[in-house]
Amino acid sequence: MKKYEDRFKPRPSVERRYRAAIRKIMQGLRERLKGAGSPFQMLQILRGFARSPTFNHEAREAAKAMVTHLFYDGASDWREAARHGSRGRMIYETLRKEKDRRNDFDPIIEQNARYITSMASGVADKVSKDMARGYMEGKRPEELMRDVLKRWPELTEWHARLIARTETSKASTALTRVRAEGAGLDWYVWRTSEDARVRTSHHHMDGVICSWSDPPSPEKLVHQKDRGRYNPGEIFNCRCYPEVLLEYGDVSWPHKVYHNGRIQSMTLAAFKRLNGGRDL
């Protein structure tokens, strides 16, 4: 079970399962390539599978499983949070209503399925270039085909990891945002994974209160190349996540708040004025 202070943090197991599912799909494609009789046929199999209903179905099922795991894990976190605060009834009502809104998450599934299917097309382009280079170097067709099978993990693993990490975080943030806005909760605390791999711009955001409607540009705030405005988990290779602010007492005051394009220290009274004097 998660510690209470880790609420809303995606479980690493979801990302691992998703990466394993993508890897399994691509390994299945490698097995198909073993039956090719020539480099040209190998490319035909690659490009054909990238457009096949079978591949699209497998990709969608993998994406659906990832979103489903996040959906139920996140619901458990929300129910736990509801038991510890005064917003319990509203949160429970939000969770009850979302049973009728599962189709709202289909775009997340479809987008992830497209990312997976794009892997096969990307690998086909890479293999085509490698084969052309091999022919110019005088390699035999059998050697070219053996090279593709031998290099398969190198051709697919990095992309599988990137998709799993980035899209799990993005989907988790999207689900958290839907639930937060459904409960009328406008604010969250930016949380990082708190390890050596956290990028400087995100380390700068750690612990900062932000609004869904006014996300920061973390890179711009530390004078790096601006990558646009986004919430935690919404950019490539990001393992940050939004911890929804349920009660004013969830953080200590004064506290860092992102507002009007900058991070500033705010007293509780100032933050309440910023929030229109309302309860969270």
Residue 258 β-bridge partners: 263
- Determine what percent of the chain is predicted with pLDDT higher than 70: 94
Q: Tell me the C-alpha distance between 125 and 121, whole Å.
A: 6
148 pLDDT more than 70: yes
* Residue 216 token pair: 């920061």
Position 1 scores a pLDDT of: 42
- Contact, 116 vs 156, CB < 8 A? no
170 pLDDT more than 80: yes
Domain boundaries along the sequence of the chain: 1-185, 186-280
> One-letter amino acid identity for 71?
F
pLDDT tens across 96-117, in order? 777 656 666 788 899 999 999 9
Angle at 189 between CA 184 and CA 195, to 5 degrees: 145
Q: Tell me the C-alpha distance between 206 and 192, whole Å.
A: 6
Position 5 scores a pLDDT of: 57
Position 39 scores a pLDDT of: 92
Residue 264 β-bridge partners: 257
Pairing mode, strands 209-211 and 241-244: unpaired
Cα torsion angle, 2, 239, 70, 49, sign: negative
Place of tokens 């097309």: 121
pLDDT tens across 234-273, in order? 999 999 999 999 989 999 999 999 999 999 999 999 999 9
164 pLDDT more than 80: yes
Q: Tell me the C-alpha distance between 247 and 242, whole Å.
A: 15
Burial zone of 19 (CB within 10 Å; 0-12 exposed, 13-18 middle, 19+ buried): buried
How many angstroms separate the most distant Cα atoms in the chain? 75
DSSP H helical ranges for the chain: 12-33, 39-50, 53-83, 88-97, 106-136, 141-150, 152-182, 200-205, 218-221, 268-274
pLDDT tens across 48-90, in order? 988 899 999 999 999 999 998 998 888 887 887 777 666 677 7
Position 116 scores a pLDDT of: 93
Position 220 scores a pLDDT of: 97
Position 226 scores a pLDDT of: 97
Residue 187 β-bridge partners: 211
Q: Tell me the C-alpha distance between 252 and 246, whole Å.
A: 13
What is the mean predicted confidence (pLDDT) over 210-227? Answer: 97
By C-alpha distance, which of 255, 24, 101 is closest to 93?
A: 101
Q: What is the mean pLDDT of the chain?
A: 90
Q: Tell me the C-alpha distance between 161 and 159, whole Å.
A: 5
